[in-house]
């Protein structure tokens, strides 16, 4: 717990934390305000009905949560790569290891701190998103719907955890690569490549195969029917963290 407190102190006071999660919040607000503005100009019809589904509650809850593995996942991957990459560039990783802290424990605790912070950020951003969706509905002239829809509210904690896990799984890949490559850019580059690579792969790879790709599996957590996709996604997380722990234990730090 002492180590985790130290890691959280580092992250909470880091300006990049506010910048990155602030940008995600801004992106969510802009998306919803944009949707509201577009919907306001659309004549009645299929397109306007489609936007109504995204801006009217309780459906808006699910639409909002679906954004997080995408924008949140990308942002958290950048953040995780940044955090562990800067530990190399600042030499602070070296300092922690010379104090006799087991290396695997240090890096896993760093990741757990990132994940915990992401959960808090998700809750805050979710509230921001709800307010933005509410405002967008007002701009577009849609009724806001039923914010207190009982069935959706019961599902919501699970949905939040699914969105959070999706973000964390994508971030774990960037974290592992940045740690092993000793570079902030390497992990971020990998995740960006995966995001775009999977999009392009969709042109030639059938969806029943592509759903097991890392980003697709992480994003599919919310919508998955069975256990297979969640298990595959969790396997990516486990592999990323196991690789991080094993490789850092063996690493020579010159």
Partner 1 sequence: MDAPVIHVEGLKKRFGQHEALRGLDLTVPQGVVYGFLGPNGAGKTTTIRILVGLLRADAGTVELFGEPIDDRQTVLHRIGALIEGPTFYPYLSGRDNLRVIGSAGPVPAPGRIDEVLELVDLRHRAKDRYAGYSLGMRQRLGIAAALLNDPPLLLLDEPANGLDPAGIVDMRGLLRRLAAEGHTILVSSHLLGEMQQLADEVAIINEGQLVRNGKLSEMLAIGGLIRIHVAAAELPTAQSSLEQLLGAAAVHLPDNGMGPGWIEISSASDRASEVNRTLAGVGVFPDRVETGDGLEHLFLSLTGADR
Whether a cis peptide bond, with omega within 30° of 0, leads into 58 is yes
Q: At what angle do helices 103-140 and 150-181 cross, to 10 degrees?
A: 140
Q: Min. distance of Cβ 109 from partner 1 in angstroms?
A: 9
- Among positions 92-121, residues that touch partner 1 (CB under 8 A) are 92, 94-102, 106
95/228 with CB nearer partner 1: 95
Radius of gyration (C-alpha) of the chain in whole angstroms = 20
Virtual torsion, Cα 65, 14, 113, 21, nearest 10 deg:
0
Q: Which is nearer to partner 1, 104 or 119 (CB)?
A: 104
Considering only residues 153 to 192 of the shown chain, the ones binding partner 1 according to CB under 8 A are none
Give CA 219 to chain center in angstroms: 9
Contact letters for partner 1, residues 6-25 (x by CB under 8 A): xx-xx--xxx----------
- Nearest distance, CB of residue 243 and partner 1, angstroms: 20
* Of 18-26, 27-35, 90-98, 191-199: span binding partner 1 (CB under 8 A): 90-98
Q: Tell me the C-alpha distance between 149 and 168, whole Å.
A: 28
Query: Which positions from 125 through 154 interact with partner 1, judged by CB under 8 A?
Result: none
Q: Is 198 in the site for partner 1 (CB under 8 A)?
A: no
CB of 244 to partner 1, least distance (A): 17
Q: How many amino acids of this chain bind partner 1 (CB under 8 A)?
A: 26
Supply the DSSP symbol for 43.
P
Q: Given the complex with partner 1, which of 61 and 111 has the nearer CB atom?
A: 111
Complex with partner 1: residue 59 or 101, whichever CB lies closer: 101
> What is the C-alpha separation between 165 and 148, in angstroms, rounded?
25
The torsion angles phi and psi of 227, rounded to 5 degrees, stand at -100, -15
- Of the pair 53, 94, the CB lying nearest partner 1 is at 94
Q: Where are the alpha helices (DSSP H) in the chain?
A: 2-12, 15-41, 46-55, 59-67, 73-90, 92-98, 103-140, 150-181, 184-201, 207-210, 214-219, 228-250
Compute the least distance from the CB of residue 94 to partner 1, in Å.
6
User: Which residues are near partner 1 by CB under 8 A?
Assistant: 2-3, 5-7, 9-10, 13-15, 90-92, 94-102, 106, 252-254
């Amino acid at each position: 717990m002492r180590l985790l407190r130290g890691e959280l102190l580092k992250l909470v006071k880091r300006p990049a934390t506010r910048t990155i999660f602030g940008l995600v919040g801004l992106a969510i607000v802009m998306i919803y305000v944009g949707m509201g503005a577009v919907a306001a100009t659309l004549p009645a019809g299929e397109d306007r009905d489609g936007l109504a589904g995204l801006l009217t509650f309780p459906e808006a809850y699910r639409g909002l949560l679906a954004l997080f593995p995408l924008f949140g996942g990308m942002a958290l991957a950048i953040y995780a790569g940044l955090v562990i990459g800067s530990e190399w560039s600042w030499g602070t990783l070296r300092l922690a290891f010379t104090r006799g802290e087991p290396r695997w424990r240090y890096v896993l605790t760093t990741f757990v701190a990132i994940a915990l912070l992401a959960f808090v950020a998700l809750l805050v951003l979710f509230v921001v998103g709800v307010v933005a969706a509410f405002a967008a509905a007002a701009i577009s002239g849609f009724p806001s719907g039923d914010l207190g829809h009982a069935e959706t509210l019961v599902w919501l904690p699970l949905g939040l955890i699914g969105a959070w896990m999706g973000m964390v799984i994508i971030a774990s890949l960037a974290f592992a690569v940045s740690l092993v490559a000793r570079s902030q850019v390497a992990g971020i580059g990998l995740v960006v490549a995966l995001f775009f690579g999977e999009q392009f792969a969709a042109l030639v790879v059938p969806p029943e195969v592509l759903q097991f790709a890392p980003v697709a599996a992480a994003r599919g957590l919310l919508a998955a029917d069975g256990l297979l996709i969640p298990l595959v996604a969790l396997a990516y997380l486990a592999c990323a963290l196991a690789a991080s722990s094993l490789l850092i234990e063996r690493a020579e730090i010159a």
